[in-house]
């Protein structure tokens, strides 16, 4: 039964207009205040961020400390052991990279575990949905495929990809995808990743008290670790999920809280690993469970996604999506959610209390992630339906016993999602000559100014969705094609930019391309591990030719304007290491004008990588990104708009030479 909701009197008043531009979330925040329910928005409003922590000017790596340095006078003192501000910041940054990389690579390992069990015939509930991709991927990383059975190729693929984690010495398989000159830079600097387990282990060792105490050397290992995520664990997660569950193709889908249905049993899946959600899709389609729902008086079972679990499922199956990270508590305030199943990453502990207030059943499912106060039903891939059926059954019971009034914001937006890099290839080049050539041509002729990846979380320290939306609007207005993942994708989808008609918001060049191809100016490519799709797309642009020899030459930039997680730092750093100028918003965990700051924001670019940037304001962020894109256009000699010409490889080579 629902716990009695008591009004809290001590909450500092939250200015809802300043908290979010998501109307559904705002409506639910008003209801929360009426109901006396607290959310992360309220807690962020009353909890002042620790200024020393925000600057990363403290260290608690040993019990001689914790040591606090002064961000206003960074070289005025050192830690008890003598560690300088640069060592302390670089170590803290490195540990964020290591944790973020661990999260993505462990997610990828889970997908690989499922794949192995499917291939060995031990898991029957999942199958290989995309054997064409399996074969193409195997071939790409050097596995013989001619005349062989899919099962045999799959076994070899498993063994090969396992090296992404366990390889002690030598390069991991996906290094074969990296443009030659980019790989050369990494080899020169000694940062080509070995297996992620080794890189993360070494990173943790080197940041122990009294080990690596030179910020440049620490950053070198941060780079290697981040690359073992982006071109390793995350890429495995994306590719194996596509092979098992299908490679996304464009699909029309709804987003926002209006996806909930008052007269149906509403089940939300939130987290990251797609296997839980895929099994839930089977459960909600089971005639026995549908009958149980109708017997309980419901019109049916309504399955909805949130956060990155939702981003995976909207891309692959067009499953409706109720909202991003900062809406996961507020969606429960509707009273319409009968069960929420969660797995790993970005799951607020605060969900327990909100769920309790509205009688929503909250279930943890992953052995890695229990939450005190939530019921745990372990998800086991050998018998996945046991867990997901049980969640649906309990959701039906909750539906039957609903007592509190339900209030669902009548807001939802339709858009097109599911632009895998394979589909972008096909969309631009056609079935028989799928290629990124038309994209490169349109960049060379100036219709498209460049490409931006806008990704990452939402964060209650900034107005939810606002920075994402304003930044992307500004970029497309200036003819920059935007690729998106994760919570950022949902921000823009809610704002209506995933409709092809949103092309009218783009500059004339980008608009023309969008209208010709029939695509929106903003392409959603999936969840946060699917940032690997952006890496693959960028690598493909280099390989097609005409835009330089390495990823650092591309007129491209990245941003995570409302980031909050350590995974975002790992993502940011693997983009920087791959050659991309990457701008973060909210706050940056470094004291400005230190040597470490200079190293990340300038030094890395000087030796062939990309570089970090920071801006809070979306227009300033867009300005920085566009200035960088223009700088790269100039270096390529394509800074003047050209008439569209058909180019062959030798034209492209001439262009490079010019």
Which residues of the chain form contacts with ligand SF4 (CB under 6 A)?
A: 59-62, 64-67, 79-81, 83, 88, 209
Instruction: Indicate the residue among 79 and 418 with the shorter CB distance to ligand MSK.
Output: 418
Instruction: Indicate the residue among 52 and 397 with the shorter CB distance to ligand SF4.
Output: 52
Q: Which one of ligand MSK, ligand SF4, none interacts with residue 308, CB within 5 to 8 A by kind?
A: ligand MSK
User: What does the alpha-carbon distance between residue 373 and residue 618 come to, in Å, rounded to a whole number?
Assistant: 39
User: What does the alpha-carbon distance between residue 453 and residue 621 come to, in Å, rounded to a whole number?
Assistant: 13
Question: How crowded is residue 588: how many other Cβ atoms within 10 Å of its Cβ?
Answer: 24
Contact indicator for 266, 227 with CB cutoff of 8 Å: no
- Give me 370's structure tokens: 């229990």
Q: Which one of ligand SF4, ligand MSK, none interacts with residue 415, CB within 5 to 8 A by kind?
A: none
User: What does the alpha-carbon distance between residue 122 and residue 498 come to, in Å, rounded to a whole number?
Assistant: 40
Smallest gap from Cβ 59 to ligand SF4, in A, equals: 3
Residue 309 region by backbone torsions, left for phi larger than 0, else alpha for psi between -120 and 50, else beta: alpha
Distance set, CA 195 to CA 326, 461, 571 (Å): 34, 35, 17
Q: Which one of ligand MSK, ligand SF4, none interacts with residue 204, CB within 5 to 8 A by kind?
A: none
Preceding amide of 66 cis, omega within 30: yes
User: What does the alpha-carbon distance between residue 325 and residue 565 come to, in Å, rounded to a whole number?
Assistant: 11
Q: Residue 359: CB partners within 8 Å, gap ≥ 6? A: 1, 2, 3, 335, 398, 401, 402, 403, 404
Contact indicator for 294, 256 with CB cutoff of 8 Å: no
Smallest gap from Cβ 316 to ligand MSK, in A, equals: 16
Smallest gap from Cβ 161 to ligand MSK, in A, equals: 22
In the sheet that holds 581-584, the strands lie side by side as 522-524, 480-484, 450-454, 556-560, 581-584, 612-614
Q: Which one of ligand SF4, ligand MSK, none interacts with residue 49, CB within 5 to 8 A by kind?
A: none
Q: Which one of ligand MSK, ligand SF4, none interacts with residue 456, CB within 5 to 8 A by kind?
A: ligand MSK
Q: Which one of ligand SF4, ligand MSK, none interacts with residue 527, CB within 5 to 8 A by kind?
A: ligand MSK
Smallest gap from Cβ 601 to ligand SF4, in A, equals: 23
User: What does the alpha-carbon distance between residue 28 and residue 321 come to, in Å, rounded to a whole number?
Assistant: 17
Distance set, CA 27 to CA 333, 350, 458, 564, 650 (Å): 10, 19, 18, 24, 58
User: What does the alpha-carbon distance between residue 33 and residue 7 come to, in Å, rounded to a whole number?
Assistant: 8
Smallest gap from Cβ 264 to ligand MSK, in A, equals: 25
Contact indicator for 375, 340 with CB cutoff of 8 Å: no
Instruction: Indicate the residue among 61 and 573 with the shorter CB distance to ligand MSK.
Output: 573
Instruction: Indicate the residue among 167 and 207 with the shorter CB distance to ligand SF4.
Output: 207
Residues that bind ligand MSK (CB under 6 A): 272, 307-308, 325, 345-346, 456-457, 486-487, 527-528, 565, 567-568
Smallest gap from Cβ 401 to ligand MSK, in A, equals: 31
User: What does the alpha-carbon distance between residue 395 and residue 296 come to, in Å, rounded to a whole number?
Assistant: 11
Instruction: Indicate the residue among 47 and 64 with the shorter CB distance to ligand SF4.
Output: 64
Smallest gap from Cβ 586 to ligand MSK, in A, equals: 12
Question: How crowded is residue 414: how many other Cβ atoms within 10 Å of its Cβ?
Answer: 14
Q: Which one of ligand MSK, ligand SF4, none interacts with residue 60, CB within 5 to 8 A by kind?
A: ligand SF4
**DSSP symbol at 543:** H
Smallest gap from Cβ 29 to ligand MSK, in A, equals: 18
Q: Which one of ligand SF4, ligand MSK, none interacts with residue 67, CB within 5 to 8 A by kind?
A: ligand SF4
Instruction: Indicate the residue among 230 and 438 with the shorter CB distance to ligand MSK.
Output: 230
Q: Which one of ligand SF4, ligand MSK, none interacts with residue 491, CB within 5 to 8 A by kind?
A: none
Smallest gap from Cβ 453 to ligand MSK, in A, equals: 12
Instruction: Indicate the residue among 118 and 307 with the shorter CB distance to ligand MSK.
Output: 307
| 549: Cα within 13 Å, side-chain hemisphere | 10
Q: Which one of ligand SF4, ligand MSK, none interacts with residue 80, CB within 5 to 8 A by kind?
A: ligand SF4
Instruction: Indicate the residue among 8 and 208 with the shorter CB distance to ligand SF4.
Output: 208
Instruction: Indicate the residue among 31 and 68 with the shorter CB distance to ligand SF4.
Output: 68
Q: What are the DSSP calls for 211-230, one per residue?
A: S---HHHHHHHHHHHHHHII
Q: What are phi and psi of 265, to 5 degrees?
A: -75, 115
Q: Which one of ligand MSK, ligand SF4, none interacts with residue 79, CB within 5 to 8 A by kind?
A: ligand SF4
Instruction: Indicate the residue among 66 and 170 with the shorter CB distance to ligand SF4.
Output: 66
Strand, coil or helix: what is 274? helix
Smallest gap from Cβ 94 to ligand SF4, in A, equals: 13
Smallest gap from Cβ 472 to ligand MSK, in A, equals: 15
Instruction: Indicate the residue among 95 and 163 with the shorter CB distance to ligand SF4.
Output: 95
Q: Which one of ligand MSK, ligand SF4, none interacts with residue 330, CB within 5 to 8 A by kind?
A: none
Instruction: Indicate the residue among 388 and 485 with the shorter CB distance to ligand MSK.
Output: 485
| 218: Cα within 13 Å, side-chain hemisphere | 29
Instruction: Indicate the residue among 65 and 318 with the shorter CB distance to ligand SF4.
Output: 65
Smallest gap from Cβ 606 to ligand MSK, in A, equals: 30
Q: Which one of ligand SF4, ligand MSK, none interacts with residue 62, CB within 5 to 8 A by kind?
A: ligand SF4
Compute the chain's Rg from CA coordinates: 24
Smallest gap from Cβ 649 to ligand SF4, in A, equals: 55
| 246: Cα within 13 Å, side-chain hemisphere | 14
């Amino acid at each position: 039964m629902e716990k009695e909701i008591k009004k809290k009197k001590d909450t500092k008043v939250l200015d809802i207009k300043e908290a979010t531009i998501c109307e559904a979330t705002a409506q639910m925040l008003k209801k929360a205040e009426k109901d006396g329910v607290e959310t992360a928005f309220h807690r962020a409003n009353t909890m002042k961020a620790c200024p020393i922590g925000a600057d990363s000017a403290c260290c608690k790596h040993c019990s001689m400390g914790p040591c606090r340095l002064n961000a206003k006078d960074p070289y005025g003192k050192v830690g008890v052991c003598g560690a300088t501000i640069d060592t302390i910041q670089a170590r803290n940054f490195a540990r964020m990279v290591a944790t973020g990389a661990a999260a993505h690579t462990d997610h990828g390992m889970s997908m690989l575990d499922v794949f192995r069990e499917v291939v060995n015939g031990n898991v029957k509930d999942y199958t290989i949905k995309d054997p064409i991709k399996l074969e193409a991927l195997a071939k790409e990383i050097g596995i013989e495929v001619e005349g062989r059975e899919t099962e045999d190729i799959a076994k070899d693929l498993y063994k090969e990809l396992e090296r992404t984690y366990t390889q002690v010495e030598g390069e991991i398989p996906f290094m074969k995808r990296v443009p030659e000159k980019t790989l050369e830079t990494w080899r020169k600097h000694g940062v080509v990743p070995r297996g992620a387990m080794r890189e993360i282990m070494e990173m943790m060792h080197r940041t122990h008290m009294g080990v690596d105490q030179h910020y440049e050397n620490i950053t070198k290992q941060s780079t290697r670790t981040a690359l073992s995520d982006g071109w390793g664990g995350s890429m495995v997660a994306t590719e194996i999920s596509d092979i098992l569950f299908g490679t996304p193709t464009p699909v029309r889908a709804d987003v926002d809280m209006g996806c909930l249905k008052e007269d149906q049993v509403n089940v939300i899946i939130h987290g990251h690993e797609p296997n839980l959600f895929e099994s839930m899709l089977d459960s909600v389609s089971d005639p026995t469970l549908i009958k149980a729902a109708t017997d309980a008086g419901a019109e049916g079972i309504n399955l909805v996604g949130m956060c990155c679990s939702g981003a995976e499922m909207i891309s692959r199956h067009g499953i409706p999506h109720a909202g991003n990270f900062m809406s996961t508590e507020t969606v429960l305030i509707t009273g319409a959610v009968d069960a929420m199943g969660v797995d790993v990453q970005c799951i607020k502990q605060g969900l327990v209390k909100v769920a309790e207030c509205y009688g929503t059943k909250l279930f943890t499912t992953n052995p890695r992630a229990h939450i005190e106060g939530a019921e745990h039903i372990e998800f086991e891939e050998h018998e996945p339906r046991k867990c997901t059926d049980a969640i649906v059954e309990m959701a039906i019971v909750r539906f039957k016993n609903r007592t509190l009034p339900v209030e669902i914001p009548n807001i939802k937006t339709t858009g097109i999602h599911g632009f895998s890099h394979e589909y972008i290839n096909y969309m631009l080049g056609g079935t028989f000559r799928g290629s990124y050539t038309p994209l490169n041509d349109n960049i060379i002729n100036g219709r498209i100014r460049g490409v931006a990846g806008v990704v990452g979380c939402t964060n209650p320290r900034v107005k939810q969705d606002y920075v994402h939306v304003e930044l992307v609007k500004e970029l497309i207005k200036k003819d920059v094609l935007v690729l998106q993942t994760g919570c950022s994708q949902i921000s823009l989808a809610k704002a209506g930019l995933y409709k092809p008609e949103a092309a009218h918001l783009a500059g004339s060049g980008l608009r023309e391309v969008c209208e010709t191809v029939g695509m929106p100016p903003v392409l959603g490519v999936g969840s946060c591990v699917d940032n690997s799709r952006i890496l693959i797309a960028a690598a493909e642009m280099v390989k097609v030719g005409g835009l330089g020899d390495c990823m650092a030459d591309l007129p491209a930039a990245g941003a995570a304007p409302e980031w909050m997680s350590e995974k975002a730092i790992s993502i940011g750093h693997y983009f920087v290491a791959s050659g991309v100028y990457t701008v973060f918003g909210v706050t940056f965990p470094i004291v400005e004008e230190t040597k470490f700051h200079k190293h990340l924001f300038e030094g890395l670019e000087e030796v062939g990588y990309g570089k970090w940037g920071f801006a809070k304001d979306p227009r300033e962020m867009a300005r920085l990104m566009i200035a960088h894109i223009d700088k790269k256009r100039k270096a390529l000699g394509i800074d003047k708009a050209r008439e569209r010409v058909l180019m062959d490889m030798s034209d492209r080579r001439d262009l490079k030479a010019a």
